[in-house]
Amino acid sequence: MTDGQPIPVIIDCDTGVDDALALLFAVRHPALDVRAITCVAGNTDVDGVVRNTLTVLEQAGAGDIPVARGAERPLIETVRTARHVHGQDGMGDLGLPAPARVPADVDAVTLLRREILASPRPVTLIPMAPLTNIALLLRTHPEVTRNIERIVFMGGAVATGNATPVAEFNVWHDPEAAAVLLTAGVPITMYGLDVFKKVLVPADEVQRLRASAEPRLRLAGELLAHRDPATSGDPTPIVDRRPRPGESEVHQGTREQPLVDVALGVDAERYVRLWLKAVE
């Protein structure tokens, strides 16, 4: 918060274990005003993503945030979920209760457009999933970019992927949608897989959360205890870190200008403290 007002944000997610932890943080942090959440197929099927998202919001005491169902498959590719990582239900098969509420009566693209244009301040759009919903929004309603402050997305990798040696899951799942996002014409910040692999909550903190009587803290602990068992040729963003132009530019023209800001590191210990403080 730079002016004492929380930042208006809209989150697009494919709620599995990781996105659930991010949602718990986002809805509890006082500097963020979560105006809407949209769901897309990814970690599990889109109906499972909607269910998981609503369940997390109820557990976090944030049941009034509108949630909408989005794309059930990528723009071109078939659905390729990550149930082998996140469990059959996308949430570590924890047996969580079904949510009491239902999603909004509009689709994700409609909700995104409505909330972006209705916001009195430009919003920060936070995609944490395959980028299908965002691509459909940008192609169908390009006027929304006038009220988007920045897009901050979780996707890609600077060094090593998880879907393939070079491809991170969110971009690999719908590379054509990622290409649309990267040419959105608004400021973009990319937080890739490399950064988040460095953030680990200590085991004693995990056990303390699991033993809590507070539902959201117990959920956080159970999700943190679920370990990623997967280290599984598709395109992914390539981060150009060359110090000078190469032969391609010398022989074929000028070097492309950077499209996005890319996070290369994280203060992991500080971030863990921040996450715990916000969730608790």
pLDDT in tens, 25-52: 999 999 999 999 999 999 999 999 999 9
pLDDT beyond 70 at 4:
yes
User: What's the CATH code of the domain at 43?
Assistant: 3.90.245.10
| CA–CA dist 144, 182 (Å, integer) | 15
Identify the band that residue 257 occupies on the pLDDT scale cut at 50, 70 and 90.
low
The verdict on residue 138 lying in a domain is yes
| CA–CA dist 13, 111 (Å, integer) | 14
Tell which phi-psi region holds residue 245, choosing left (phi > 0), alpha (psi between -120 and 50) or beta: beta
User: Cα–Cα distances in Å, from 88 out to 104, 151, 215?
Assistant: 25, 30, 22
| 118-133 average pLDDT score | 97
Ramachandran angles phi, psi of 99, nearest 5° = -70, 150
Whether the full predicted model's pTM is greater than 0.85, yes or no, is yes
pLDDT beyond 50 at 176:
yes
| CA–CA dist 194, 161 (Å, integer) | 8
Among 26, 8, 43, 236, residue whose Cα is nearest residue 129: 43
The verdict on residue 197 lying in a domain is yes
pLDDT score for 229: 39
Identify the band that residue 206 occupies on the pLDDT scale cut at 50, 70 and 90.
very high
pLDDT beyond 60 at 232:
no
Burial (CB count <10 Å: 0-12, 13-18, 19+), residue 63: middle
The range of the structural domain enclosing residue 244 comes to 7-279
| CA–CA dist 280, 275 (Å, integer) | 8
Return the bridge partners of 262, or none.
190
| CA–CA dist 157, 201 (Å, integer) | 21
| CA–CA dist 17, 28 (Å, integer) | 17
CB environment 108-128: b (16+ within 10 A), e (fewer): bbbbbbbbbeebeebbbbbbb
pLDDT beyond 90 at 246:
no
On average, the pLDDT of the chain sits at 89
What would the pLDDT profile of 151-174 be if each residue is shown by its tens digit?
A: 999 998 887 788 887 788 999 999
User: Cα–Cα distances in Å, from 41 out to 63, 93, 179?
Assistant: 21, 18, 18
| 238-264 average pLDDT score | 70
The verdict on residue 116 lying in a domain is yes
Domain tally for the chain? 1
Ramachandran angles phi, psi of 85, nearest 5° = -100, -45
Place of tokens 């085991």: 203
3-state secondary structure (DSSP) of residue 62: coil
| 92-111 average pLDDT score | 93
The verdict on residue 91 lying in a domain is yes
Are 80 and 173 contacting, i.e. CB atoms less than 8 angstroms apart? Answer: yes
